[in-house]
Amino acid sequence: MKVDVSTPKTRRVTLADVAAASGVSKTAVSLILNNRPDSRISEQTAARVRQTANDLGYRPNLAAQSLRFGKTRTLGFISEQVTVTRFASGMITGILRAAKQHDHTVLMAETFGEEPELRQAIAQMSHREVDGLILGFMDSRLRELPGLESEVPVVLVNGHDTQPRTCIMPDEFAAGSTVAHRLQQAAITRVALIGTHRRATLHPESYPSITRRFAGLTQALAAEGIGITGQWELEDWNPSDGFTATRAMLAGNQPPQALICANDRVAMGAYQALAEHGLRPGIDMPVISFDDEDIAAYLRPALTTVRLPYEQMGEKAVELLLGGQLTADEHLVPMPLIERDSLPARR
């Protein structure tokens, strides 16, 4: 059964239609429907026109409005990798929610991590005359943004430009304190750091997030009087890396009282290595981590971790863009501790 469900256009109702139907000029209708303050239209006429507009189901044509105003009530979101993890999703959710609040819609593009794609997406978006542009990155590498000479206001989320530019970052440094303080409360005095980042260690200025995460951690641990038994440098932060590192750590002769994992995936690998060693994560060996990906809740015991607040970051980006004056500041968003079951209760 082939049913054609493509639909022939019925002509839409225009301002002129409403004007004709209510016997006034287009001007009058426009003034009335937009509630222009000093329009001096009689309340009678106004009521009649409003009624007619309503009956006819009139909605102003957005293309026409855009043409007049040079504004589209649209925001562009260009993301490096939507595909990867829950991160971009959180960002999208925050952006969508905030945009809706401001009666804006969101145009999406993805660069798949490629620079030409990024350039093209930026061109595409400014061509579409978005009122603001949000660039979301997945790792916070410093970068030079191509093709951004255009006139669109821009906010970077989770990344920096070599130019001064408005950007939004998670407060990784403070997160270090959060973790150290929490460990101190659990009366832990010796920890192992599973997973520093090789490239970040080599080029700290290129990986501000990771660098701050560990700087905050080291400083706060020292302040709380917690010793570091060792730290393992990794190329990547996937479960298999965490597994290898933890295994190596366990083969050493300096057993820590708890594990700080670079992120949740590393923690997952740590769980696997601990299990292999007959150690129960969270009981025989407390674990705390960063990010709060989906898997954090899936692990057994569920992982206590410091959340990357992507949703709030997305919201904030919209607020800044639509809220008026954009200044080239860096905005830090706090990272909340998500208490689950991999770290003994405070005492």
Positions in the binding site for DNA (CB under 7 A): 11-12, 14-16, 23-28, 30-31, 33-34, 36, 39-42, 44-45, 58-61, 64-65, 67-68, 70
Which partner from the list a copy of itself, DNA, none does 185 bind, CB cut-off 5 to 8 Å by kind? none
Q: Which residues, 185 to 224, sit near a copy of itself by CB under 8 A?
A: none
Name beta bridge partners: 259.
192, 287
How many residues belong to the site for a copy of itself (CB under 8 A)?
69
d(C-alpha 57, C-alpha 138), whole Å: 44
Which partner from the list DNA, a copy of itself, none does 72 bind, CB cut-off 5 to 8 Å by kind? a copy of itself
What count of Cα atoms within 13 Å lies in the side-chain half-sphere of residue 4? 3
What's the CA angle centered on 309, arms 242 and 101, to 5 degrees?
150
Measured from the CB atom, is 63 or 345 closer to a copy of itself? Answer: 63
The greatest distance separating any two alpha carbons of the chain, rounded to the nearest whole angstrom, comes to 91
User: Which one of residues 18, 53, 58, 72 is an interface residue with a copy of itself (CB under 8 A)?
Assistant: 72
**124 makes contact with a copy of itself (CB under 8 A):** yes
In the numeric block, which tokens belong to residue 227? 């010793």
Binding segment for a copy of itself (CB under 8 A), chosen from 146-154, 194-202, 220-228, 229-237, is 146-154
Q: Which residue has the tokens 């809220």?
A: 323
d(C-alpha 134, C-alpha 75), whole Å: 8
Cβ 344 vs Cβ 184: under 8 Å: no
Name beta bridge partners: 135.
78, 156
Using CB under 8 A, list all residues that contact a copy of itself. Answer: 1-10, 59, 61-64, 66-67, 70, 72, 74, 77, 82-86, 88-90, 92-93, 96-97, 100, 105-110, 124-125, 127-129, 151-154, 164-166, 238-239, 243, 265, 268, 272, 275, 294-295, 298, 300, 324-329
